[in-house]
Chains A and B, each alone.
Chain A
Amino acid sequence: TQLLEQSPQFLSIQEGENLTVYCNSSSVFSSLQWYRQEPGEGPVLLVTVVTGGEVKKLKRLTFQFGDARKDSSLHITAAQPGDTGLYLCAASNTGKLIFGQGTTLQVKP
Protein backbone atom coordinates (compact mmCIF):
# COMPACT_ATOMS: atom_id res chain seq x y z
CA THR A 1 0.00 0.00 0.00
CA GLN A 2 1.36 3.35 -1.07
CA LEU A 3 1.29 6.08 1.55
CA LEU A 4 0.93 8.62 -1.24
CA GLU A 5 -1.48 7.68 -4.00
CA GLN A 6 -1.15 9.57 -7.25
CA SER A 7 -3.71 9.67 -10.01
CA PRO A 8 -3.92 9.24 -12.84
CA GLN A 9 -0.88 7.04 -13.40
CA PHE A 10 -0.68 7.97 -17.09
CA LEU A 11 -1.98 10.93 -19.02
CA SER A 12 -1.60 11.62 -22.72
CA ILE A 13 -3.00 14.92 -23.98
CA GLN A 14 -2.69 17.36 -26.85
CA GLU A 15 -0.78 20.59 -26.61
CA GLY A 16 -2.96 23.38 -25.27
CA GLU A 17 -5.17 21.21 -23.06
CA ASN A 18 -5.52 21.65 -19.32
CA LEU A 19 -4.97 18.86 -16.82
CA THR A 20 -4.97 18.10 -13.11
CA VAL A 21 -3.07 15.39 -11.28
CA TYR A 22 -3.71 14.39 -7.72
CA CYS A 23 -1.76 13.20 -4.72
CA ASN A 24 -3.81 11.69 -1.90
CA SER A 25 -3.11 10.19 1.48
CA SER A 26 -4.88 9.26 4.68
CA SER A 27 -2.01 10.78 6.64
CA VAL A 28 -1.51 14.40 7.59
CA PHE A 29 1.74 16.00 6.49
CA SER A 30 3.51 19.14 7.64
CA SER A 31 4.52 19.83 4.06
CA LEU A 32 4.39 18.26 0.64
CA GLN A 33 6.65 18.60 -2.36
CA TRP A 34 6.16 18.16 -6.09
CA TYR A 35 9.02 17.02 -8.33
CA ARG A 36 9.30 16.54 -12.08
CA GLN A 37 11.53 13.88 -13.55
CA GLU A 38 12.55 13.78 -17.20
CA PRO A 39 13.95 10.65 -18.89
CA GLY A 40 17.57 9.99 -17.99
CA GLU A 41 17.57 12.51 -15.17
CA GLY A 42 16.84 12.69 -11.48
CA PRO A 43 13.74 14.38 -10.05
CA VAL A 44 13.84 18.17 -9.76
CA LEU A 45 11.86 20.07 -7.15
CA LEU A 46 9.02 22.22 -8.49
CA VAL A 47 7.41 23.45 -5.29
CA THR A 48 6.92 22.88 -1.57
CA VAL A 49 3.51 23.55 0.01
CA VAL A 50 3.29 23.96 3.75
CA THR A 51 0.00 25.51 4.86
CA GLY A 52 -3.39 23.81 4.54
CA GLY A 53 -5.31 25.42 1.67
CA GLU A 54 -2.16 26.98 0.26
CA VAL A 55 -2.05 27.69 -3.46
CA LYS A 56 1.24 28.28 -5.28
CA LYS A 57 1.72 29.20 -8.90
CA LEU A 58 4.72 28.50 -11.07
CA LYS A 59 4.02 29.97 -14.51
CA ARG A 60 1.32 27.67 -15.96
CA LEU A 61 1.46 25.25 -13.03
CA THR A 62 -0.82 25.71 -10.01
CA PHE A 63 -0.25 23.66 -6.87
CA GLN A 64 -2.75 23.33 -4.05
CA PHE A 65 -2.39 21.77 -0.62
CA GLY A 66 -5.60 20.41 0.85
CA ASP A 67 -7.15 22.13 3.85
CA ALA A 68 -6.51 19.05 6.00
CA ARG A 69 -2.94 18.69 4.65
CA LYS A 70 -3.65 15.15 3.44
CA ASP A 71 -3.79 15.77 -0.27
CA SER A 72 -2.52 18.00 -3.03
CA SER A 73 -3.18 18.74 -6.67
CA LEU A 74 -1.18 20.04 -9.59
CA HIS A 75 -3.02 21.83 -12.38
CA ILE A 76 -1.33 22.64 -15.67
CA THR A 77 -2.90 25.21 -17.96
CA ALA A 78 -2.34 25.06 -21.71
CA ALA A 79 0.08 22.16 -21.53
CA GLN A 80 3.12 22.20 -23.79
CA PRO A 81 5.37 19.37 -25.03
CA GLY A 82 8.04 20.62 -22.65
CA ASP A 83 5.76 19.66 -19.74
CA THR A 84 6.19 15.99 -20.65
CA GLY A 85 7.65 14.01 -17.78
CA LEU A 86 6.99 12.10 -14.59
CA TYR A 87 5.38 14.19 -11.84
CA LEU A 88 6.03 12.97 -8.31
CA CYS A 89 4.64 14.12 -5.01
CA ALA A 90 6.69 13.57 -1.87
CA ALA A 91 6.19 13.98 1.86
CA SER A 92 8.07 13.34 5.04
CA ASN A 93 6.94 10.29 7.02
CA THR A 94 8.66 8.90 10.12
CA GLY A 95 11.89 10.61 9.23
CA LYS A 96 11.92 9.54 5.60
CA LEU A 97 11.00 11.44 2.46
CA ILE A 98 8.66 9.15 0.56
CA PHE A 99 7.38 9.50 -2.96
CA GLY A 100 4.17 8.63 -4.70
CA GLN A 101 4.24 6.34 -7.72
CA GLY A 102 4.04 9.34 -10.01
CA THR A 103 1.95 10.51 -12.94
CA THR A 104 3.52 10.09 -16.37
CA LEU A 105 2.43 12.98 -18.56
CA GLN A 106 2.82 13.04 -22.31
CA VAL A 107 1.93 16.22 -24.17
CA LYS A 108 1.69 15.76 -27.92
CA PRO A 109 2.38 18.66 -30.26
Chain B
Amino acid sequence: DSGVTQTPKHLITATGQRVTLRCSPRSGDLSVYWYQQSLDQGLQFLIQYYNGEERAKGNILERFSAQQFPDLHSELNLSSLELGDSALYFCASSVRTLSGELFFGEGSRLTVL
Protein backbone atom coordinates (compact mmCIF):
# COMPACT_ATOMS: atom_id res chain seq x y z
CA ASP B 1 0.00 0.00 0.00
CA SER B 2 1.61 3.23 -1.22
CA GLY B 3 -0.63 5.46 0.86
CA VAL B 4 -2.02 7.18 -2.25
CA THR B 5 -5.74 6.62 -2.74
CA GLN B 6 -7.49 6.94 -6.07
CA THR B 7 -11.19 6.73 -6.77
CA PRO B 8 -12.96 5.32 -8.62
CA LYS B 9 -10.93 2.21 -9.52
CA HIS B 10 -13.00 1.55 -12.60
CA LEU B 11 -15.23 3.80 -14.64
CA ILE B 12 -17.20 3.08 -17.78
CA THR B 13 -18.83 5.95 -19.61
CA ALA B 14 -19.90 7.08 -23.05
CA THR B 15 -18.33 9.43 -25.56
CA GLY B 16 -19.10 13.07 -24.92
CA GLN B 17 -19.48 12.60 -21.19
CA ARG B 18 -17.48 14.15 -18.36
CA VAL B 19 -15.84 12.35 -15.44
CA THR B 20 -13.88 13.33 -12.35
CA LEU B 21 -11.06 11.26 -10.93
CA ARG B 22 -10.02 11.82 -7.35
CA CYS B 23 -6.68 11.41 -5.61
CA SER B 24 -5.67 11.62 -1.96
CA PRO B 25 -1.88 11.84 -1.59
CA ARG B 26 0.20 10.26 1.14
CA SER B 27 0.00 12.05 4.44
CA GLY B 28 2.54 14.87 4.40
CA ASP B 29 3.15 14.86 0.65
CA LEU B 30 2.70 18.27 -0.95
CA SER B 31 3.18 17.33 -4.61
CA VAL B 32 0.61 15.51 -6.71
CA TYR B 33 1.21 14.25 -10.23
CA TRP B 34 -1.21 12.88 -12.80
CA TYR B 35 -0.17 10.38 -15.46
CA GLN B 36 -2.05 8.64 -18.24
CA GLN B 37 -1.04 5.11 -19.19
CA SER B 38 -2.17 3.47 -22.40
CA LEU B 39 -0.78 0.50 -24.29
CA ASP B 40 0.53 2.51 -27.21
CA GLN B 41 1.71 5.65 -25.37
CA GLY B 42 3.14 4.28 -22.16
CA LEU B 43 3.09 6.40 -19.02
CA GLN B 44 2.53 10.01 -20.07
CA PHE B 45 2.92 12.94 -17.69
CA LEU B 46 -0.15 15.16 -17.59
CA ILE B 47 0.24 17.72 -14.83
CA GLN B 48 1.80 18.38 -11.43
CA TYR B 49 0.65 20.43 -8.46
CA TYR B 50 2.63 21.51 -5.43
CA ASN B 51 0.81 22.75 -2.36
CA GLY B 52 -2.18 23.86 -4.39
CA GLU B 53 -0.36 25.48 -7.28
CA GLU B 54 0.29 24.13 -10.75
CA ARG B 55 4.01 23.41 -11.14
CA ALA B 56 4.45 21.60 -14.43
CA LYS B 57 2.32 20.71 -17.38
CA GLY B 58 2.78 17.88 -19.84
CA ASN B 59 0.74 16.78 -22.82
CA ILE B 60 -2.57 17.44 -21.15
CA LEU B 61 -5.46 18.04 -23.52
CA GLU B 62 -7.53 21.20 -23.24
CA ARG B 63 -10.54 18.97 -22.50
CA PHE B 64 -8.76 17.88 -19.33
CA SER B 65 -8.27 20.00 -16.23
CA ALA B 66 -7.03 19.41 -12.72
CA GLN B 67 -6.74 21.13 -9.40
CA GLN B 68 -5.30 20.57 -5.96
CA PHE B 69 -7.42 21.62 -3.01
CA PRO B 70 -6.33 23.14 0.33
CA ASP B 71 -6.49 19.71 1.97
CA LEU B 72 -4.02 18.59 -0.76
CA HIS B 73 -6.32 16.12 -2.47
CA SER B 74 -6.50 16.51 -6.22
CA GLU B 75 -9.07 15.98 -8.93
CA LEU B 76 -8.62 15.36 -12.63
CA ASN B 77 -11.58 16.36 -14.76
CA LEU B 78 -11.98 14.82 -18.20
CA SER B 79 -14.67 16.23 -20.45
CA SER B 80 -16.07 15.64 -23.96
CA LEU B 81 -14.66 12.16 -23.68
CA GLU B 82 -13.48 10.32 -26.75
CA LEU B 83 -12.76 6.65 -27.32
CA GLY B 84 -9.04 7.41 -27.27
CA ASP B 85 -9.27 8.70 -23.71
CA SER B 86 -9.71 5.13 -22.49
CA ALA B 87 -6.66 4.48 -20.33
CA LEU B 88 -5.34 4.01 -16.84
CA TYR B 89 -4.98 7.30 -15.00
CA PHE B 90 -2.45 7.33 -12.19
CA CYS B 91 -1.96 9.79 -9.43
CA ALA B 92 1.36 9.98 -7.61
CA SER B 93 2.60 12.05 -4.72
CA SER B 94 5.92 13.10 -3.26
CA VAL B 95 7.10 15.18 -0.36
CA ARG B 96 8.67 17.88 -2.51
CA THR B 97 8.65 18.60 -6.17
CA LEU B 98 10.70 16.24 -8.35
CA SER B 99 12.91 15.03 -5.56
CA GLY B 100 13.10 11.50 -4.34
CA GLU B 101 10.50 8.87 -4.80
CA LEU B 102 7.09 9.16 -6.38
CA PHE B 103 4.43 7.06 -4.70
CA PHE B 104 1.74 5.90 -7.09
CA GLY B 105 -1.85 5.00 -6.44
CA GLU B 106 -3.43 1.92 -7.98
CA GLY B 107 -4.91 3.94 -10.80
CA SER B 108 -8.37 4.62 -12.20
CA ARG B 109 -9.24 2.60 -15.26
CA LEU B 110 -11.42 4.64 -17.61
CA THR B 111 -13.29 2.97 -20.42
CA VAL B 112 -15.08 5.19 -22.93
CA LEU B 113 -17.64 3.38 -25.08
Residues in chain A within 8 A of chain B (CB atoms): 2, 33, 40-45, 48, 88, 90, 92, 94-102
Contact = CB atoms under 8 A, between A and B. Distances in A.
Given A42-B2, A102-B42, A97 B106 contact: no
A36 B90 CA distance: 14
Contacts of A97: 33, 45, 98, 102
Contact of B42 (A33, A40, A42, A99): A99
Nearest to A102: B42
Q: Summarize B's interface: helix, strand, loop or mixed.
A: strand
Of B42, B43, B101, B106, the most chain A CB neighbours within 10 A belong to B43
Given A95-B56, A101-B42, A43 B101 contact: no
B98 A95 contact: yes
B104 interface: yes
A102 B41 CA distance: 10
Contact of B104 (A33, A42, A94, A95): A42
Interface of B: 2, 4, 33, 35, 42-45, 48, 55-56, 58, 90, 92, 98, 100-102, 104-107
A102 B98 contact: no
Given A42-B4, A88-B43, A102-B42, A96 B48 contact: yes
A14 B30 CA distance: 42
Nearest to A47: B101
11 contacts: A2-B42, A41-B104, A42-B106, A45-B102, A48-B100, A90-B102, A92-B98, A95-B55, A95-B98, A97-B98, A99-B44
Contacts of A102: 42-43
Of A41, A97, A101, the most chain B CB neighbours within 10 A belong to A97
Nearest to A41: B106
Contacts of B107: 41-42
B22 to A, nearest CB: 15
A44 B43 CA distance: 13
Given A88-B43, A97-B33, A100-B42, A42 B98 contact: no
Of B4, B44, B45, B48, the most chain A CB neighbours within 10 A belong to B45
